[in-house]
Amino acid sequence: MLVTVQDLWKSYPGQPPERAVLRGAQLSLAEGEAVALTGESGSGKSTLLHLIGGLDGFDRGEITVAGQALSALDEPGRAALRRGPVAIVFQQFNLVPSMTVEQNLALHARLAGREDRSWIKALTARLGLEGLGGRYPEELSGGQQQRVAAGRALAVRPALLLADEPTGNLDETASAAVMSLMLGLARETGTAVLLATHSETIAAGLDRRLHLSGGQLA
């Protein structure tokens, strides 16, 4: 398995154990698999993705990603994980406003020492961003910005893509276009996807679904 989550508990300061957002959650994700993560708002979907991505610590349990136990990693180790086998796409585009489209697309790959200009050029074409490489994020539509964010994540050819409501800020047409491109590219590169979504349409298009409720997955 690429990802395993075992007996995962997570609460926040001032929150009693019985109100923990995650209460013994279990999860497994195979290489190349695309899984939808569903649940009500506030159920802990974003928290779970953040924990798997090493953005936050957990109370107890274990998460293993690409053979690495996250409990054994310090912050530099978790950052290295996000520059290598793990990439994250958020609902907010999080593009660097002072960088052009081309520079944003190459940013994570360059930081990871894995920049491949031919692959980035191919991504640019596949994402419908040709001719926009010299523009800045503020000059793009929301759909175009999210395509750049997805391309930036996929530019490192990650083993795992964590996507947290990546099209939540887009209209239905733009959302469908971005999701189709992102998931298609992930399948082509063998990238596993764990995608938090409220959309039944998006969830139905993935390999399987996990529902988070009461701090547990089913």
Share of the chain above pLDDT 90, in %: 73
User: Which 3 state secondary structure label does DSSP give 12?
Assistant: coil
Residue 95 scores a pLDDT above 90? yes
Helices (H), the chain: 45-52, 75-83, 101-111, 117-126, 142-154, 172-189, 200-204
For the chain, the straight-line distance linking the first and the last C-alpha, in angstroms and rounded, comes to 18
pLDDT tens-place string over residues 59-81: 999 999 999 999 999 999 999 99
Looking from the CA of 118 toward its CB, the CA atoms found within 13 Å total 0
pTM of the model: 0.93
Indicate the class that CATH gives domain 3-217: alpha beta
pLDDT the model gives residue 17:
65
Predicted confidence (pLDDT) per residue in 6-36, tens digit: 999 999 887 776 679 999 999 999 999 999 9
At 117-146, the pLDDT tens digits run 999 999 899 889 999 999 999 999 999 999
- Contact by Cβ (8 Å): 154, 182: yes
Q: Hey, what are 37's tokens?
A: 């993560």
Q: What is the mean pLDDT of the chain?
A: 93
Average pLDDT over residues 168-189: 89
Mean pLDDT of 108-114: 88
